[in-house]
Structure 1
Amino acid sequence: MGSTTDGTPVSPRGVVDLRGVDGPGFTVRYPAGAVVVVSGLPGAGKSTLLRRWSAAGAVAVVDPRAVHEACEAVMPAWLPYAVYRPWARLRHGLLLRNSVRRGGPLLVHDCGSRAWMRRRLARGAGRRGRELHVVLLDVGAAAALDGQRARGRYASARVFARHLVGLARLSAALDRGDPIPEAASVLRLDAVSRSRATVVRFGGRGL
C-alpha cells in the first residue's frame, strides 16, 4: 500500500517507493511487535527520523551511537575509541539481541549495508512471530555528506565508502525488482518524503 499526495496512512508490504512524492505528512503503520530497521548512509537523516517517531509514542529504539556515547563516558578521555570499539560493538549486539527478545515494537538504527545483519534480525524476530521491516533513506551521497556537515559529525571516508557500496547494491536489487526475502517490506524515502513520514504506529488502526 502506498501514499501519494493526500496524506493517506502507509502500511508497507513488499517494496513501497515514495521517493520524490510530495504532499502532506502521513503516518506509517506496522504490525504489532514489528522490528523496523531505519537504514541509510551516515548523514541521511536516520537519527532525525527515529527521534521524531519515538517521540510520538512509547517505542524502544536501539541506536549504536547511544552505546558509543555510553562507553565513551566511562573511558579515559585520552583513550582512542578504536581501542574499545570491540567492547562497544559487543554491547550494541547484546542490546539489540535482548531488545528483539523482549518483544514489543522496536526501531533499529542501522546503515543497512550489511545483508547478514538484516538476516540475523529477521531470524531473531521470526522466532518470536514478529516481522522485520526496512525503511531505506535513499537520499544519495551528496545529500548524506551535507547532512554530516550540518550535524558536525563525520563518518570516516573508509566507513562512508563501505556503506555506499553496500547500499548501492541494495538499491540496485530493489530497482531490478529482486526480492529482499528477510524483510516483509522496504519503504524507500528520499529527502522529500522523509520529512512527510511524521508518525509511526504499531498494531490496530486505533493505536
Structure 2
Amino acid sequence: MSEQPTTVRRGRGRRPAAEVRAGVLAAAARVLLRDGLSAVTFDRVAKEAGSSKMTLYKWWPSPGALAAEAYFAQSAPVLAFPETGDVRADLISQLTSFVRWLTRDGAATPVSELVGAAQMDPQVAHAWAERYARPRRELACERLRTAQRQGQLRGDADLEVIADQLWGACYHRLLVLKVPFDESLVPRLVDQALYGAARVER
C-alpha cells in the first residue's frame, strides 16, 4: 500500500505582524526581480506570500509602493557597508556590490522601472524616496561621517555631495545615458570623489 502524503498544517494562531510583513516583502521582491514591476500586484504577492490580500491593502497604498519597500528590504543585506577603517577600500567594496547587483544580479530592470514609475505615481515616488533612496543615502553618509571623525576626510568635506557623486554616477549611466558599465568603473569613481581632479600645486 502506498504511503499517503502528509500535509503539514500551520497552527490556528495568528503569525506576528512583523513576520507576515517580512514574508510579504520577500515575496514581492521575488516577483519584482524575477518578472518586473508590472508583475507586482496585490493578488500575486498575496498568493506568493500565503497572506491575505486585505493585509496588503492595509499596509501599502499601492503595489508600486509595496515594490519599492520590497526592493529596499531585499537589497539591504547585499548593499551593507563594510567598516574596516579604510574608507577608500570600504567605498570600493560597497559600490562594487551595488554595481554587481545592478549588472549581474538582475536589479537593473526593476530599478529602472521603479524610478520611471516614481516620475508619474506620487505613491511610488514617496515610497522610493522614503523607503529606499534616502535611507541608502544616509547609510553612505554615516560611513563617510565615520571616516571624517577618523581624520580620513577633510572636516569641511560635503558628504552628501560625495554620496551623490558616487551612486549618482551609476544611476546616470543606467537611467539617463543607458550605456554599459561594470565593476571596473568603481575605483575610478571612488578616487575621483575622494581626491578630485584639480591640479596639485607643488
Q: Which has the larger radius of gyration?
A: 2
Structure with a larger share of its residues in helix: 2
Fold equivalence (TM over 0.5): no
* TM-score range relative to shorter protein: under 0.3
Structure with a larger share of its residues in strand: 1
Provide the TM-score with structure 1 as the length reference: 0.25
Provide the TM-score with structure 2 as the length reference: 0.26
Larger relative contact order (C-alpha < 8 A, sep ≥ 6)?
1
